[in-house]
Chain A
Amino acid sequence: MNWVWIGSNLGLIGGRILEHLALTAPPIVIGLVLSIPLGYAASRSKVARSILLSVGGILYTIPSIALLVLVPVVVGFTILDPLNLVFALSIYAVAIMVRSAADAFASVPQDVLASATAIGFSRWQRFFVVQLPLAVPVLLAGIRVVSVSTVSIASVGALTGIDQLGSFFLDAFQRSFPTEAIVGIASILVLAAVYDVILSRIGRALTPWSRKQAVATPKTYTADKVAAL
C-alpha cells in the first residue's frame, strides 16, 4: 500500500469517483422508472409476464464485456462513447428490476385493491395512491440489488476505454502497482454502500408504516430478504 501515491493523487481518485457516479446513477434511475410500467404489465397478464421475464433473463445472461461491445453496434454509438456503458448497465438494471416490479405489484393484496375500487378510486388513482406505495418495499429490495451490481459491473467499462474507477484496475496491472487496484476496489465498495444507504433511507421515508411493523416483528426472515440474497 503506497499512501504517498494516494495522497498525491486525491484529485484523480475523486475525479474517477465522480465519473463512476455519473455513469451509474442514470442506469439505476432508468431501471426503476422503466420497470414500473413493465412490471405492472407483467403482474396483470401471464403472457406479458412470461415474455418480459424471458427477455429479461436472456439479456441478463449476456456477459457485460460482450454487451458493452454489442450496444454500440446495435444502437449506433461509437465504441468509446461512455453512453455505451450507461446503455448496457440500464439493460441489466431493467432486466433485473422487471421481475422485482412484477413481484412487487403482485404482492399488493387483492382485498386492498378491491376496497380502493369500492370507495370510488379510478384506475389511475388506485395505481398511484394504493398500489405503487404498497409495492415500495419489494421494489426497494430490487433496486438495492441493482445499485450494488451496477456499481460493480461498471468497472468493466475500463476494457473499452471508458474512464471510471475500473480504470485503476488496468493501470494497476500495467504498472504492477497494487495500490491503485486496492483504491479502486475500496472506492467501489464505499460507493455501493453509499447508494445502499441512500436508497434504504428513501425507502423508509416512503413507507412510514413499515417502521412500526419493524418494531413489532424484529429480525424476521422475510421474502424480501431472500430476494435480496
Chain B
Amino acid sequence: MSLFGDAFAWIFAHWTSGPDVSAHVLEHLAVSGLCVLIAVAIALPIGVAIGHTGRGRGAAILISNVARALPTLGLLSILILLTGIGVLPIAIVLVILAIPPMLAGAYAGVESVDRQTIDAARALGMTEWQIIARVEIPLALPLLIGGLRATALQVIATLGIASAFAFGGLGIYLINGVNTGDYVQLLAGAILITALALIVDGVLAIAQRFVVPRGVALGRTDQNGPPNRTRAQRPRALQEGTQS
C-alpha cells in the first residue's frame, strides 16, 4: 500500500514541474468539456424531439445499444488511422461516443413525464413549444442530468485511453508508466483519472438533486419509489451508459 503513498507524493512533486500534472488536468478537463458541450448540442434537441413526439424511439434504443457494444479503443485506433494523429480525430470519437447516453437521457427524461400532466398543460392552452419548455424539460431535468453524467464519464474515461494514440491528457502517465515499468507513475495516472471522474460526477450528482421541481419533490412520498410518473421512471438506464 505504500505504493499509494509514493503515487500521491509523485503527483504533488510533479504538480507544476516536470511532466506538469496541473496542465494535463486542465487539458483533460477542457477537451472533455468541449466534447460534452458539442454532444449535448447535437443530442439534446434530438432526444427531446423523440421524447415529445414518440417517433424514432426504436432508432434511439438501437443507437445506444450499438454504442455500448462498440469498443472505444477500436474506434479511436481506426479513426486516427483514417484521419491522422491529432486532437480533431480524438474529439470526433469522443463526440460520437458521447451522443448516445445524452440522447437516451433526453429522450427517456421527456418520455417519463406523466401523460396526464402534459394533457393538463394542453388543456390550459399551452402551445407545443410551451409544453416542451415549461413542462417537459423541467420535469425531465433529473433524467437529463443523469444522461449528462453518463456522457461526461464516458468522455473523461475515453480521453484517458486516447493517450495511447499520442494525445496528452491524463492517460499519458498510465501509458508512460506501462511502457517504462514505472508503477508509481502508472498508479498516479490511475488516481488522477479516477479523482477527476469522481469529482465531475459528484458535482453533477449534486446538481441533479437540486433540479427536481419543487412541486414534484413535495408530491413524493417515497424517495426510492416511483414518483408521480407512469412509465420509464428509472434513471438506471442512463447511469449505465457505455463505460470505456
Contact = CB atoms under 8 A, between A and B. Distances in A.
Interface of A: 46, 49-50, 57-58, 60-70, 73, 79, 92, 96, 99-100, 103, 145, 148-149, 151-153, 155-156, 158-161, 165-166, 168-170, 172-173, 176-178, 181-182, 184-185, 188-189, 192-193, 221, 223, 225-229
Contacts of B80: 173
Interface of A is mostly: helix
**Which of A49, A170, A229 is packed against the most chain B CB atoms within 10 Å?**
A229
A183 B242 CA distance: 21
Contact of B240 (A49, A96, A165, A221): A96
Contact of A169 (B74, B224, B240): B74
B234 A103 contact: yes
Contacts of A65: 157, 160-161, 171, 174, 190, 193
Given A64-B244, A73-B3, 20 more contacts: A61-B197, A65-B161, A69-B190, A70-B187, A70-B190, A73-B1, A79-B186, A100-B236, A152-B72, A156-B71, A159-B73, A159-B175, A169-B71, A169-B73, A169-B77, A170-B73, A173-B80, A188-B71, A221-B231, A223-B234
- 6 closest pairs, A vs B, by CB? A63-B157, A69-B190, A66-B190, A155-B71, A169-B77, A181-B78
Nearest to B78: A181
B53 interface: no
B189 A63 contact: no
Contacts of B197: 61-63, 66
* Interface of B, helix, strand, loop or mixed by DSSP: helix
A225 B178 CA distance: 40
B167 to A, nearest CB: 12
Interface stretch (B36-44, B57-65, B119-127, B129-137): B57-65
B232 interface: yes
Given A73-B3, A159-B164, A166 B73 contact: yes
B73 A158 contact: yes
Contact of B237 (A66, A185, A229): A229
A226 B187 contact: no
A66 B189 CA distance: 7
A155 B74 contact: yes
A178 B78 CA distance: 6
Given A96-B240, A173-B81, A229-B104, A155 B73 contact: yes
B228 interface: no
Nearest to B71: A155
B156 interface: yes
Interface residues of B, number: 58
Nearest to B239: A57
Contacts of B164: 159, 170, 173
Interface in B140-185: 153, 156-157, 160-161, 164-165, 171, 174-175, 177-178, 183
B78 A182 contact: yes
Interface string B218-244: 000000100000011010110110111
A66 B74 contact: no
B16 interface: no
B171 to A, nearest CB: 6
A44 to B, nearest CB: 13
A68 B4 CA distance: 15
Contacts of A188: 69-71, 74
A153 B97 CA distance: 13
A172 B77 contact: yes
B70 A189 contact: yes
